[in-house]
Structure 1
Amino acid sequence: MITALDHVQLAAPEGSEGLLRAFYADVLGMTETAKPPELAARGGCWFEAGDVRLHLGVEAGFRAARKAHPGLRVRDIEAYAGRLARLGAEVVWDDALPGHRRFSSVDPVGNRLEFLEPTADARP
């Protein structure tokens, strides 16, 4: 039986770890976690915030995920969007999901990220 989502992995080009660290840690406010030594040799980096874990793995022939994306639930979405915009990240609002405020952004290698917060009228 599936009991939880352990992590989401996104691809990244070789040598992009510095850009990823600056974005995921400094802009999004996530914490970088150490990769096990066996996996660290492959490159990439891992981040977490609360129970959310994102792994960025190096992929040969990398192409950014423009449609596929993680949906990251946030608190105080207006303030969070303001933070991202102040720090230079793209913020594109979308009101097409009933019961939610949401926006999308892209990481520095072009992967799409969605940020959302349920509104008072959201159904469970």
Structure 2
Amino acid sequence: MTIQSINHVQLPFPAGAEGPVRRFYASLLGLPEVRLKADNTLRFAAGTQRIDLVPIEPWQPHPSVSHLALEVQDLPALRQRLLQAELPLVENRALPGYLRFYVKDPAGNQLEFLEPDHEQGVTP
């Protein structure tokens, strides 16, 4: 048995916050929404994987150490789009060989965005 890849990750969001969550993942991040069945789960394609967001009531945020890391192309463009949306970014955690930052989605889930930095001369 070998594990081939991650199929999906599941994150919580407060019930009733579908609009802001959908805008964040679809509009700001540009992920296509995937409709699988008629339930309240929001699903977005991230390459061949999915990010599933499940409404939770009563709402309890995740600990800040939990996060989802997404490798992207053109990190500066995504950074600019998120800054234009007035989202606070955390950019003080260097990682050799990568450009990266963190941002929280509307539910408070922490997301890490990173891209290999070939100019650093480090092979990730």
TM-score, normalised by the number of residues in structure 2: 0.86
Percent sequence identity over aligned pairs: 38
- Structure 1: 5+ residue stretches without partners: none
Judge which range, 111-120 or 62-71, deviates more.
62-71
In structure 2, stretches of 5+ residues that fail to align are none
The RMSD of aligned alpha carbons is 1.6
Instruction: Within 5 Å, give how 1:14-53 maps onto structure 2.
Output: 14-37=15-38, 40=39, 43-53=40-50
- Partner AA of 1:122 in structure 2: V
Provide the C-alpha distance between the structure 2 equivalents of 1:112 and 1:11, rounded to a whole number of angstroms: 11
Amino acid at match of 1:62: W
Whether the 8 Å contact between 1:94 and 1:101 is mirrored in structure 2 is no
Distance in 2 separating the partners of 1:122 and 1:9: 32
- Matching residue's letter, 2:41: G
User: Aligned partners of 2:72 and 2:92: how far apart in 1?
Assistant: 15
State how many pairs are aligned: 120
Query: For 1:98-117, what per-residue CA distance to the aligned partner results, in whole angstroms no more than 9, with x for missing partners?
Result: 11110000111111010001
**Aligned ranges 1:85-96 → 2 under 5 Å:** 85-96=83-94
TM-score (norm 1): 0.86
Deviations 1:21-63 (A, max 9, x none): 11111111111110323xx1xx231111322411001223332
Structure 2: distance between partners of 1:18 and 1:116: 26
User: What do the CA deviations read for 1:67-93 (whole angstroms, capped 9, x no partner)?
Assistant: 211101111211210111112222221
Asked whether 1:123 is paired with 2:120, we answer no
